[in-house]
């Protein structure tokens, strides 16, 4: 990578950190108990989120199946309501994850293990646990512990970037027990 690209990456990460720190400071006293979000992908303000993918440049031999790496994405903030901000950011982060890496990101080695027909149906956040429900596309033709680990890591790490989220439960059409089995 050239020096200006590295400097641009660090500058973007710094802006993201400052933006999130300010947002979280403003909403620190607002406890979000349950948030179910159905928002559009557009809004009047912009921010950045980390979206986690596998990366063949970082792990060229594929030894660490459940290791994922962040990409900073600029997104539209759907609302200014601090009480629902966490759920909306979580929803938008998962929507960005499901888009997969862009062509430029693919050139940098990023890839997704999530099926392209996967859709998020619902996200709820209760007492630090994010439960995200997907359609059947998430579990379609998923085999092998490596791919299952990569899928779980992509979803979990993308949601755990929010300090309020301590644990993530993944479901497909409401089912949690028998999904994403190797």
- Token match 């085999």: residue? 143
Between 154 and 2, name the one with better pLDDT: 154
Indicate whether 51 pLDDT > 70.
yes
Grade residue 86 by pLDDT with cuts at 50, 70 and 90. Answer: confident
Q: Please state the rounded mean pLDDT for residues 42-63.
A: 73
Q: Give the range of the structural domain holding residue 145, as residue numbers without chain letter.
A: 3-172
Note whether residue 111 is domain-resident. yes
pTM for the predicted model, two decimal places: 0.70
CB atoms within 10 A of CB 116: 9
Is residue 42 packed enough to be buried (19+ CB in 10 Å), middle (13-18) or exposed (0-12)?
Answer: exposed
Higher-confidence residue: 4 or 121? 121
How many CA atoms within 13 Å lie on the side-chain side of 56? 10
What pLDDT score was predicted for residue 146?
85
Query: How does pLDDT run across 2-36, given as a tens digit for each residue?
Result: 665 565 565 555 554 444 443 433 333 332 223 33
Domain contains 27: yes
Classify residue 57 by burial, with Cβ atoms within 10 Å: 0-12, 13-18, 19+: exposed
Domains held by the chain: number? 1
* CA separation for the pair 10, 26 (Å, rounded): 24
Is residue 131, in this structure, part of any structural domain at all?
A: yes
**179 occurs within a structural domain:** no
In a domain, 160, yes or no: yes
Least confident residue range of 21-25, 77-81, 85-89: 21-25
| Contact (CB, 8 A) for 63 and 42 | no
**pLDDT higher than threshold 80 for residue 182:** no
Contacts of 158 (CB under 8 A, 6+ apart): 49, 50, 51, 52, 93, 94, 97
Dig out the tokens for 69 from the structure: 């790496």
Backbone Cα Rg of the chain = 16
Answer yes or no: is 178 within a domain. no
Give domain status of residue 182, yes or no.
Answer: no
- Whether 20 is covered by a domain: the verdict is yes
Q: At which residue do the structure tokens 């997704």 appear?
A: 112
């Amino acid at each position: 990578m050239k020096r200006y690209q590295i400097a641009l990456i660090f500058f973007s990460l710094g802006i993201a950190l400052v933006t999130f720190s300010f947002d979280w400071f403003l909403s620190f006293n607002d406890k979000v108990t349950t948030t179910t979000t159905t928002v559009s992908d557009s809004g009047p303000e912009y921010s950045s989120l980390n979206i986690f993918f596998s990366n063949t440049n970082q792990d060229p031999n594929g030894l660490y199946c459940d290791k994922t790496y962040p990409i900073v994405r600029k997104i539209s903030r759907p609302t200014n309501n601090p009480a629902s901000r966490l759920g909306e950011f979580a929803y938008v982060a998962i929507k960005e994850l499901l888009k997969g890496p862009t062509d430029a990101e693919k050139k940098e080695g990023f890839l997704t293990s999530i099926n392209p027909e996967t859709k998020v149906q619902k996200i709820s956040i209760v007492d630090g646990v994010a439960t995200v429900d997907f359609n059947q596309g998430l579990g379609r033709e998923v085999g092998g512990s490596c791919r299952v680990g990569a899928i779980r890591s992509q979803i979990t790490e993308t949601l755990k970037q929010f300090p309020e989220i301590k644990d993530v439960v993944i479901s497909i059409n409401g089912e949690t027990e028998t999904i994403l089995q190797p």
